[in-house]
Structure 1
Amino acid sequence: MRPMTARLNIHPAILLLAALLLATPALADSPELLRPEKAFQYVVTDTGTALEIDWAIEDGYYLYRKKLSFDSATPGIRLLPFELPEGLPHSDEFFGEQQVYRDRFYVTIPYETDGERPTTLELATRSQGCADRGICYPPQLWTTAVDLVSTAATKGKPSPFNSPFSSGSANSALGDFLPVDEAFVPHAIVIDGNTLEVSWEVAEGYYLYKDKLAADTRSDDVQLGRLELPSGKPKTDEFFGETEVYYDAVFARLPLARATPEPVTLTVDLGYQGCAEDGICYPPVSRSLTVSLPQATAVGALAAAGGKPMISEQARLADLIGNASLLAVIATFFGAGLLLAFTPCVLPMIPILSGIIAGDGDKVSPARGFSLAFSYVMGMALIYTGAGIVAASIGVQLQAVFNAPWVLTLFAALFVVLALGMFGVYNLQVPSSIQTVATDISSRQRSGTLVGAFVMGALSSLIVTACVAPPLVASLTVIGQAGDVWRGGSALFALSLGMGTPLLVVGASAGTLLPKAGPWMNAVKEAFGFMMLGLAIWMLSRILPDGVTLALWGILAVMTGVWLGGLTSLGQGASAKHKLAKGGGLVALVYGAALLLGALSGGHDPLRPLANLGMQGNGAAHEASGLEFQRVKTVADLERALRTAAQSGQPAMLDFYADWCVSCIEMERYTFTDPAVQAALANSLLLQADVTANDADDQALLQRFGVFGPPTIIFFGRDGGQRRGYEVVGYMKAQDFASHVRQATSAAAITAHSETGK
């Protein structure tokens, strides 16, 4: 068995060697793969008794924990035993179950000297890492010259850094407390032309507040990105409550956006605030540090990204919910609801409410109409808010639940029942049992009772869920991820009230505009009956084929034309209103016939029902075509597509779509057909995930990005990484979307250029 055992033991090594040999051409040819010394960077600082090593690993790369080791190449200096920090679990095809490091980690290595202390230490570092795309680097051996501090400088110092502020004279000025510049010492180190490492050394017995650390500059040629801070230690503070703080030292990466590639001197203003454990807190402090930046590796990032991290609308609103005052949250989301009230997702509620008020007959007054509208809006708002809280808390996609085919069919049937009640069909001789049930439904939910209005408002919340907008996503994010039901629910309720406010105006005005009694009242009810039938068709359009929906609209238009008198002869001396009604009826009949003809010819657009007929000639007329997407069903499908795009240096766009999503249809018809949008996406890989079925694969793909529902569009850079902050939620006009795409793809190109140039 020994020969077989030996053969099994060297098998992974052979595989790894083969993979490295095969990867060598790829390393040479691929302009996007970083060199190992750029992918895995570190800074070494001597504290006098130990080496502090700060590692910074680029996104998409990782180091093996077991392959990391250090040694002293300087005689007279011996590294003492130390522990590497825990890594992340990783299943590797070459080494099996491993721990790896990503992003940032720190290593502290104590050492001792024999004899006279040298001024420098040659530190030998052995490591091995890989890229996520499947290419692994050979083992690396790097030697770093570390300047050692003198023992006099480190004697009695209060922090793990080489601090020049350690004399006892300074302590006497504040009694037992250090001056602020001795308690907290800032540093700035240049990593490369586009990155700084900012750090603070914190004296023993002192701490810095995480949320008080900031960086700024007055330079016109360089702008600062977001300060990338590690997690702090939780602390209950008597001044700031629950917060995070840093002890001993904190290291942060600061990305830079450069306007020009030339070397430049930069002054960075660092703001911070901290306290002593014994109770004294210092006022906020600002200190300026000057660094010399070398040649920039990412030229033009300032113009494309503005030097500021991109933040999506829904992320900005979610941050507002979590951090702003509750009054500001309510006011903001109420205003957002007012804007959403005039979208196709909310407008259909107007005929429903009008039908309820019309059902009150001659009892309608402005006060009565407002009361019915208020009851309707409260029913919609309470159910919408409650359903949103429950769905976000348990991780259910609210859209998919309320837009299931059986739910849509049930409520479409309800609107048909209500329409028949408006037409007075229940006066016909139908079986008594059916007549009783129908009359009961009609009287309870169509008539102008406050309870009936509340019930119909609750049912109408189904209509609002047809669309996802940034305010809705922000509210659900705060509830589902932060667990703050109170603030998230308050925002959701304010959003609902904003959407319902125009309905209150409709209710109050209906009492003045609607006739009080007589034949006109019957005509008004019948008109609202046709509106109810239109709502039923609109709801079914989310699940029916376009041709069938177009035919239903055609049938409704023909019926409306007949009702208006389009086929009725006008007698001598017909009044103007009868002539006007007949004219409208003829128009409705012609339009209905066009819709039916368009449905039979394969048309789908109610605004251009005969477009297909124009294309059957010599092909001169062409219907505006949309984008051609590559469909992805699973997370694995998406990852394969992104790898392919990354290998060819192509950015990508992922569109979450569903047949029952109203805004998705709007994007397909009005945004994706725009030439400017198509030109902006000409060089991008277009991916689309159809989540209509809402099955396990769909839910996994949605959860992969924390998406609450369609339409949501996500962008990816040329490296396959997600362009966070550029997500689009809800409908966006073509001009705005084209501009957004250019910004997202331009930022992706800059990122790729920056990585290549390192």
Structure 2
Amino acid sequence: MRLLCLSLLGLAALASQAAEDILKPEEAFRYELRAMPDAVEVRWRIAPGHYLYKQRMGYRSLSEGLVLGDAELPPGKPYEDEFFGHMEIYRGEVVARLPIVARADGLKTAELELRSQGCADIGLCYPPQKWTGTISFDQGGGALARLLGGAGRAAADEPLPPEQAFRPRARLLDPFRLAIDWEIEPGYYLYRDSLALRRITGPAETGRPKLPAGTPKQDEHFGETEVYYDAAHIEVPLSRATPAPGLLELELAWQGCKEDSICYPPQLTRLAVDLPPASAGDAPAAPISEQDRLSRLIVGGNLALVIATFTGLGLLLAFTPCVLPMVPILSGIIAGQGEDVTTGRAFALSLTYVLGMAVTYTLAGAAFAAAGGQLQAALQKPWIIITVAGLFVALAASMFGAFELQMPAAIQSRLSGLGDRQRSGTFIGTAILGALSALVVTTCVAPPLVASLTVIARAGDVLRGALSLFAMSLGMGIPLLVVGTSAGRLLPKAGPWMTKVKGAFGFLMLGLAIWMLERLLPAPLTLALYGALVFVAGVFLGAFNTLAANSPVAARLGKGFGLLAVLYGAVLLIGALGGARDPLQPLQFALRAGDGDQHELRFERIKTVADLDAVLLAASSAGRPVMLDFYADWCVSCKEMERYTFTDPGVQAALGDALLLQADVSANDAADQALLQRFGIFGPPTILFFDASGREREAYRVVGYMPADEFARHAGAALHGA
């Protein structure tokens, strides 16, 4: 009996508590009416744990002097209701806009009928509700006073309080997007550049607001700027830390003015939105990096499509600075044939060079990827670079006639029955040069290369990865076949012109040798070598030759171009003495005293995995995103990024307040390899982005060179997107 009494008392207590939790309809669903110049606004404030049905809402005017159009409502959240079936619901706050179709002159107030129905999450659904509200069209000298003028005009000329002149309202578009709608009184404007948003508390971080274009305005204080009149709609991506619901509190910074009157001081407004539960299906689709997309194609795509795709990608890579140096190498081989060169022989030599390059590139790439090594770094040892540069110098000397490259007599006698004499243009020597070019000259990292190596290293599919590498190598070789074959057709067959052509290719070979040594030598010394080479080439062209009155046109052109080359070479030498680094801007050092190198990005260097972890932890504590750039002195594309991309003002603006880190892996020592292996990177240039919590955004990795405009958009999305 005692147990029964206790049970009844417990049930009574629970019932009493439940009764206290159930709100009355007028408490659960509050509304506010507001007159606009062309519409009536109904703002619903829905208590937490409650929701309204969109399809159960209705509005009509009860006054003859006011005719309203159909209600304009934002999309609701889809909801499968037990009784009504498929519905849309609202939580938190929602605004219905009722367009004014007609309004009688002199109408100051009107009555509206509002219909609604909603439920509580505890399982209670309220019966349909009908509300009657009164709307005033003469709110403190507002819309009516501005329309009618007279006595109300003096009050309208007085500046409104900032919270009345500018009314921001936050609402959710979906669990991962927030909208801020601005209502701006006529005669007032809001500065676009003044808008900023930060999170105070809540389970989500805000991304970079998507601001619409404003109206251009020449401002007395800020100069050329953009402003918003009447209204503005801003979307903000949200990064959810948890799928659970919660209250997100925000602080909105803004500033505005009254036309031809006062400007308000910078304002701070607090906003709050209730975040609903989120699911993976609600989240926006994550981007896929180019290298990941290509990796998926290799693993799961049709093999013929894979080969065709990577052949095309190789063709595009053929025009990058990493592959172009092979053109003078192959052309020099063809020129070295002298009078024996024919179109057929030129094509055969070109094909031998391309196949030697493709086979070596494929085998070496597959072997290193399967072993987990970095092919690019392994082949950039100083002794390898110096050896190859020495080979180019030897080839140049041969072109200048210092000696003739040929194989030892014992080997020549054994191979004499197989073909021509073994000179610099023989097939064996051509294949060897193709292999060396593949290993040393074309070691630039690009998304197709990373995709192939990733499939070999991580998926273990050596066959498909190697086939894609071979197809890419053949694509890179297509322009070489065209150039080599045409060289055999266009080059002179004999005579003094052949000597001049071979001399020109000799200078190209010396240029390649300097280009190789550029990875090891200081930039000013490299610039001095280029200056000396160009100066001597000008002399070779006849800069200081004496011309007779009847000298042919070719001699005159040679002297003219020679003088230009001598002058440019002298400028390069002067620039090198001044510490210049760029052959295209050798005299930039003369301007440096005035403005410095303010256009260069300032990186913080890291060396080890421990260094990176410590910096990421500090950046996360400060709420700063991070960009990490993997760089090496021998990386051609890295220098392109430094020279053309990182100096762009748009790129620097996109990086904003991000912490910029750089890992110099030129030495390829144990610390460098550990840092590369931490992220599974095959070599520089590779750029990683981390959000404010220290997590890498892998889908936004950049591999290889990226132009400034594209990189600015990419970095902005990586650092400030959802």
Asked whether 1:575 is paired with 2:552, we answer yes
- Structure 1 residues 717 and 602, CA gap change in structure 2 (3 angstroms): same
Match of 1:677 in 2: 651
Match of 2:612 in 1: 638
- Out of 675, 684, 703, the position equivalent to 1:729 is 703
1:454 aligned counterpart, secondary structure: helix
- Structure 1 residues 553 and 474, CA gap change in structure 2 (3 angstroms): same
For residues 327 and 261 of structure 1, what CA distance do their matches in structure 2 show? Answer: 40
For residues 509 and 598 of structure 2, what CA distance do their matches in structure 1 show? Answer: 32
- Out of 620, 623, 627, the position equivalent to 1:653 is 627
- Structure 1 residues 297 and 646, CA gap change in structure 2 (3 angstroms): farther
1:426 aligned counterpart, secondary structure: coil
Match of 1:745 in 2: 719
Match of 1:290 in 2: none
- Structure 1 residues 597 and 486, CA gap change in structure 2 (3 angstroms): same
2:699 aligned counterpart, secondary structure: coil
Matched residue type, 1:601: G
Unmatched tracts of structure 1, length 5 or more: 1-191, 194-219, 226-256, 263-293, 437-442, 751-758
Match of 1:31 in 2: none
1:523 aligned counterpart, secondary structure: helix
Could you tell me whether the CA contact under 8 Å between 1:466 and 1:660 is conserved in 2? Answer: no
- Structure 1 residues 330 and 223, CA gap change in structure 2 (3 angstroms): farther
Structure-to-structure mapping, 1:178-577, within 5 angstroms: 295-296=274-275, 307-426=284-403, 447-577=424-554
Match of 1:584 in 2: 561
Alignment deviations for residues 643-700 of structure 1 (CA, whole Å, 9 cap, x no partner): 1100010000000000000000000111000001111112100000000000000000
Structure-to-structure mapping, 1:593-612, within 5 angstroms: 593-612=570-589
The structural deviation recorded for 1:221 is 6.3
Matched residue type, 1:598: G
The structural deviation recorded for 1:359 is 1.2
For residues 304 and 330 of structure 2, what CA distance do their matches in structure 1 show? Answer: 29
- Structure 1 residues 446 and 353, CA gap change in structure 2 (3 angstroms): farther
The structural deviation recorded for 1:526 is 0.6
- Structure 1 residues 391 and 298, CA gap change in structure 2 (3 angstroms): farther
For residues 635 and 444 of structure 1, what CA distance do their matches in structure 2 show? Answer: 55
Could you tell me whether the CA contact under 8 Å between 1:563 and 1:585 is conserved in 2? Answer: yes
The structural deviation recorded for 1:222 is 5.6
- Out of 680, 690, 693, the position equivalent to 1:716 is 690
- Structure 1 residues 508 and 223, CA gap change in structure 2 (3 angstroms): farther
Could you tell me whether the CA contact under 8 Å between 2:624 and 2:691 is conserved in 1? Answer: yes
The structural deviation recorded for 1:367 is 1.7
The structural deviation recorded for 1:543 is 1.2
Could you tell me whether the CA contact under 8 Å between 1:403 and 1:466 is conserved in 2? Answer: no
Could you tell me whether the CA contact under 8 Å between 1:658 and 1:691 is conserved in 2? Answer: yes
For residues 628 and 326 of structure 1, what CA distance do their matches in structure 2 show? Answer: 45
For residues 486 and 579 of structure 1, what CA distance do their matches in structure 2 show? Answer: 58
The structural deviation recorded for 1:427 is 7.5
Matched residue type, 1:684: A
The structural deviation recorded for 1:298 is 11
Could you tell me whether the CA contact under 8 Å between 2:307 and 2:468 is conserved in 1? Answer: yes
The structural deviation recorded for 1:464 is 4.2
For residues 427 and 394 of structure 1, what CA distance do their matches in structure 2 show? Answer: 40
- Structure 1 residues 448 and 640, CA gap change in structure 2 (3 angstroms): same
The structural deviation recorded for 1:615 is 2.8
Alignment deviations for residues 5-55 of structure 1 (CA, whole Å, 9 cap, x no partner): xxxxxxxxxxxxxxxxxxxxxxxxxxxxxxxxxxxxxxxxxxxxxxxxxxx
Structure-to-structure mapping, 1:137-216, within 5 angstroms: none
- Structure 1 residues 222 and 494, CA gap change in structure 2 (3 angstroms): farther
For residues 596 and 630 of structure 2, what CA distance do their matches in structure 1 show? Answer: 27
Asked whether 1:706 is paired with 2:683, we answer no
Matched residue type, 1:560: A
Could you tell me whether the CA contact under 8 Å between 2:385 and 2:440 is conserved in 1? Answer: no
- Structure 1 residues 445 and 594, CA gap change in structure 2 (3 angstroms): farther
The structural deviation recorded for 1:602 is 0.7
Q: Structure 1 length as normaliser, TM-score?
A: 0.57
- Structure 1 residues 725 and 494, CA gap change in structure 2 (3 angstroms): same
For residues 712 and 416 of structure 1, what CA distance do their matches in structure 2 show? Answer: 32
2:403 aligned counterpart, secondary structure: helix
- Out of 648, 663, 687, the position equivalent to 2:637 is 663
For residues 697 and 284 of structure 2, what CA distance do their matches in structure 1 show? Answer: 15
For residues 686 and 325 of structure 1, what CA distance do their matches in structure 2 show? Answer: 41
Matched residue type, 2:305: A
Could you tell me whether the CA contact under 8 Å between 1:336 and 1:471 is conserved in 2? Answer: yes
Alignment deviations for residues 214-237 of structure 1 (CA, whole Å, 9 cap, x no partner): xxxxxx966999xxxxxxxxxxxx
- Structure 1 residues 561 and 259, CA gap change in structure 2 (3 angstroms): closer
Matched residue type, 1:659: D
The structural deviation recorded for 1:451 is 1.9
- Structure 1 residues 647 and 623, CA gap change in structure 2 (3 angstroms): closer
Alignment deviations for residues 493-514 of structure 1 (CA, whole Å, 9 cap, x no partner): 0010000000011122112211
The structural deviation recorded for 1:297 is 6.5
Could you tell me whether the CA contact under 8 Å between 2:176 and 2:237 is conserved in 1? Answer: no
Structure-to-structure mapping, 1:69-88, within 5 angstroms: none
For residues 463 and 338 of structure 1, what CA distance do their matches in structure 2 show? Answer: 19
- Structure 1 residues 717 and 558, CA gap change in structure 2 (3 angstroms): same
For residues 501 and 575 of structure 1, what CA distance do their matches in structure 2 show? Answer: 38
The structural deviation recorded for 1:531 is 0.3
Could you tell me whether the CA contact under 8 Å between 1:223 and 1:308 is conserved in 2? Answer: no
Could you tell me whether the CA contact under 8 Å between 2:380 and 2:440 is conserved in 1? Answer: no
Could you tell me whether the CA contact under 8 Å between 1:261 and 1:297 is conserved in 2? Answer: no
- Structure 1 residues 744 and 376, CA gap change in structure 2 (3 angstroms): same
For residues 645 and 580 of structure 1, what CA distance do their matches in structure 2 show? Answer: 60
Unmatched tracts of structure 2, length 5 or more: 1-90, 93-171, 178-206, 208-233, 239-272, 413-419
1:615 aligned counterpart, secondary structure: helix
Matched residue type, 1:697: A
Could you tell me whether the CA contact under 8 Å between 1:346 and 1:463 is conserved in 2? Answer: no
Matched residue type, 1:496: S
Q: Structure 2 length as normaliser, TM-score?
A: 0.60
- Structure 1 residues 742 and 519, CA gap change in structure 2 (3 angstroms): same
Match of 2:218 in 1: none
2:688 aligned counterpart, secondary structure: strand
2:501 aligned counterpart, secondary structure: helix
Match of 1:216 in 2: none
Q: CA RMSD in A?
A: 3.4
For residues 593 and 680 of structure 1, what CA distance do their matches in structure 2 show? Answer: 39
The structural deviation recorded for 1:468 is 0.3
The structural deviation recorded for 1:622 is 4.5
For residues 442 and 669 of structure 2, what CA distance do their matches in structure 1 show? Answer: 19
Match of 2:666 in 1: 692
